[in-house]
């Protein structure tokens, strides 16, 4: 949450950042990002951040190749949005669905790449 952000590094440890570059940003130690994460993020939330980083690193190169090759990107964008943000059942655990959707999306993009010979 602005003005701080957190992301997993290559070892699945979290990097904590806090922006103080603007006058309206807090100065000093009003909040420790690591403490905020500990208080507000569950273990599942942290696993989702790690999965998000992992999946994006696999999906983005495929998406970019396809995006450069095809003229009508609406279907491609629709599929990405559906699988990444909308295709979830509220009565099932989120993390498992998130991982499944990322695998499905990667598989679909790989299939399109193969069909387009890229």
Residues whose CB is less than 8 angstroms from the CB of residue 82 and which lie 6 or more positions away in sequence, other chains included: none
Is 4 a residue whose pLDDT tops 60?
yes
Distance CA 32, CA 97 (A): 31
Distance CA 5, CA 21 (A): 14
pLDDT reported for residue 15: 81
Q: Which residue has the higher pLDDT, 14 or 113?
A: 113
Tens digits of per-residue pLDDT, 46-101?
999 999 999 999 999 999 999 999 988 898 999 899 999 999 999 999 999 999 99
DSSP strand pairing (14-18 vs 4-8): antiparallel
Strand, coil or helix: 37? helix
Is 26 a residue whose pLDDT tops 70?
no
Strand, coil or helix: 39? helix
Q: 8-47 burial by CB neighbour count: b if 16+ within 10 A, else e?
A: beeeeebeeebeeeeeeeeeeeeeebeeebeeeeeeeebb
Report CA torsion sign: 41, 42, 43, 47.
Answer: negative
């Amino acid at each position: 949450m602005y003005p701080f952000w957190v992301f997993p590094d290559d070892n699945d440890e979290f990097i904590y950042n806090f922006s103080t570059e603007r006058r309206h940003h807090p100065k000093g130690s009003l909040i420790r990002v690591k403490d905020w994460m500990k208080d507000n993020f569950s273990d599942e939330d942290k696993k989702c951040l790690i999965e998000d980083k992992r999946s994006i690193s696999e999906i983005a190169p495929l998406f970019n190749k396809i995006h450069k090759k095809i003229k009508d990107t609406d279907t491609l964008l629709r599929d990405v949005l559906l699988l990444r943000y909308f295709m979830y059942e509220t009565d099932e655990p989120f993390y498992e669905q998130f991982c499944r959707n990322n695998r499905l999306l990667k598989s679909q993009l790989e299939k399109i790449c193969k069909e387009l010979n890229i």
